Amino acid sequence: MLTRGGVDLLPLDVFQLPAAERNAELLRGLWFAGPFLGVLAVHEFGHYFMARRNRIRVSLPYFIPMPFGIGTFGAVIRIREKIFSRREFFDVGIAGPLAGFVVAVPLLMYGFTHLPPLEYLFQIHPDYRAYGADYARHVYQGQPAGLTVSQPLLYQLLARWLADPALLPDPHELLHYPVLLAGSLSLFFTALNLLPIGQLDGGHILYGLLGFRRFNRLSTVLFLAFMFYAGLGLFTLDSSWQTWLYYGPVYALYLLVALWRVLPGFRRVALLAAGVWLAQLAVATAVPGISGNPGWLLFGLLLGRLTGIYHPPAPDERPLSPGRRVLGWLMVLVFILCFSPSPFVEV
């Protein structure tokens, strides 16, 4: 597991290299895998130890492997018994992202304050050397587009405050800066867990702050806004008839399935799905070229069908203490600092 995340930053035939080169490449990969999996582990153990402190039976964290990309879908723990109070939901929910965030920020700070000289990049791309520090203006023209991790507000602030602008890598080269890449992905996973919908960590936190009725009303609105943004721009009135004929029924079915648990009854769900689609068409018509992020469609389906968008009530619904309320709203600020509407962007 420690090397899977790192190996995916390397050529797939890394194990066919001579021993010395192979070991050097694996060591380089560990500079990504170690910090990244470390942040995920700290996040999950934050949940684990807080649950144990509240005498709630939970499993140890399970890492979910992924055979490509970054090597893991993340990690989960399983709560083995019912949680009885709003405070316990809040405490267990906030402990994970808070612990992970406390580790992710110093990780990024280290990455920005220990940037290697440009010679490091020139050794990887010798053709860049001819352009010196101005390489980014010349070397990417005509190259096929690729994906990189976007830079949320917190990443940009830390880069501005801590990094030497002359050494800061172009987004195309983030893959070669494993600590920064690990920190960027850590912010993404923190924001993903802090989405204030359903039974995600952010849902537990906002449920603790608002209570059962107010939270579930807000969660519904946020989920519909999330789904609206995810599919925005997929279809417009200018789309070809082939697009409508082949992909329209698929998208209609997707909306029905994803929104199935929002309202009771097929008729209500169908009307809701039609309303979301019509709203997307209206905005796309009013603002030509606008688009959301279809990458969120899969996550929206998981929220709508698996985790659910509503939070169950706790037998003890007493409000949180003032200190917990302050901490909860601070985590809402953390979400804003870490979230990016398009976490992976083309460069």
Task: Decide if 34 is inside a domain.
Answer: yes
- Residues 163 and 287 reside in one and the same domain: no
- Structural domain of residue 177, as residue ranges? 2-207+317-346
User: Nearest to residue 38, comparing CAs of 130, 102, 132?
Assistant: 102
At residue 17 the predicted structure's pLDDT band, cuts being 50, 70 and 90, is: low
Q: For residue range 276-328, what is the model confidence (pLDDT) as tens digits?
A: 999 999 999 999 999 999 999 999 999 999 889 999 999 999 999 999 999 99
**Whole-number Å distance between alpha carbons of 318 and 325:** 13
**pLDDT the model gives residue 4:** 33
Would residue 277 count as lying in a domain? yes
- Does residue 69 form part of some domain? yes
User: Quick one: 272 and 200 in the same domain?
Assistant: no
Residue 10: which pLDDT band, with cuts at 50, 70 and 90? very low
**Per-residue confidence band for 9, with pLDDT thresholds at 50, 70 and 90:** very low
Domain match, 80 and 171 both = yes
Is residue 312, in this structure, part of any structural domain at all?
A: no
Q: Which residues contact 265 (CB under 8 A, 6 or more apart)?
A: none
pLDDT band at residue 13, thresholds of 50, 70 and 90? low
281 domain residue, yes or no: yes
Contact indicator for 100, 190 with CB cutoff of 8 Å? yes
Kindly state whether residues 162 and 190 are assigned to the same domain.
yes
Q: How far apart are CA 96 and CA 101, in angstroms?
A: 9
Looking at residue 148, its pLDDT comes to: 86
The model's confidence at residue 57, banded by pLDDT at 50, 70 and 90, is: very high
Residue % of the chain over a pLDDT of 70: 93
Nearest Cα to Cα of residue 32 among 136, 214, 147, 180? 180
Q: Mark whether 31 and 149 lie in a shared domain.
A: yes
What's the structural domain count of the chain? Answer: 2
Give yes or no: residues 152 and 223 share one domain: no
Question: Model-level pTM greater than 0.85?
Answer: yes
Distance CA 54, CA 51 (A): 5
209 pLDDT exceeds 60?
yes
Burial environment of residue 80 by CB neighbours within 10 A (0 to 12, 13 to 18, 19 or more) = exposed
CA nearest to 4, candidates 29, 27, 25, 23: 29
**What is the 3 state secondary structure string of the chain?**
CHHHHHHCCCCCCHHHCCHHHHHHHHHHHHHHHHHHHHHHHHHHHHHHHHHHHCCCCECCCEEEECCCCCCEEEEECCECCCCCEHHHHHHHHHHHHHHHHHHHHHHHHHHHHCCCCHHHHHHHCHHHHHHHHHHHHCCCCCCCCCEEECCCHHHHHHHHHHCCCCCCCCHHHHHHCHHHHHHHHHHHHHHHHCCCCCCCHHHHHHHHHHCHHHHHHHHHHHHHHHHHHHHCCCCCCCCCHHHHHHHHHHHHHHHHHHCCCCCCCHHHHHHHHHHHHHHHHHHHHHCCCCCCCHHHHHHHHHHHHHHCCCCCCCCECCCCCHHHHHHHHHHHHHHHHHCCCCCEEEC
CA–CA–CA angle 158, 95, 178 (5° rounding): 40
Q: Is residue 89 part of a domain?
A: yes
Would you say residue 270 lies in a domain?
Answer: yes
Residues 232 and 203 in one domain: no
- Regarding whether 121 and 87 lie in a shared domain, the answer is yes
Does 150 lie in the same domain as 233? no
Contact call for residues 208 and 90 (beta carbons, < 8 A): yes
- The residue with tokens 């709560």 is 79
Clarify whether residues 44 and 78 are in a common domain.
yes
Domain assignment present for 221: yes
CA distance 96 to 179: 21
Task: Note whether 227 and 183 are same-domain residues.
Answer: no
Task: Please tell me whether residues 195 and 225 are part of one structural domain.
Answer: no
Lowest-pLDDT range of 8-17, 29-38, 132-141: 8-17
**Model confidence over 306-319: pLDDT tens digits?**
889 999 999 999 99
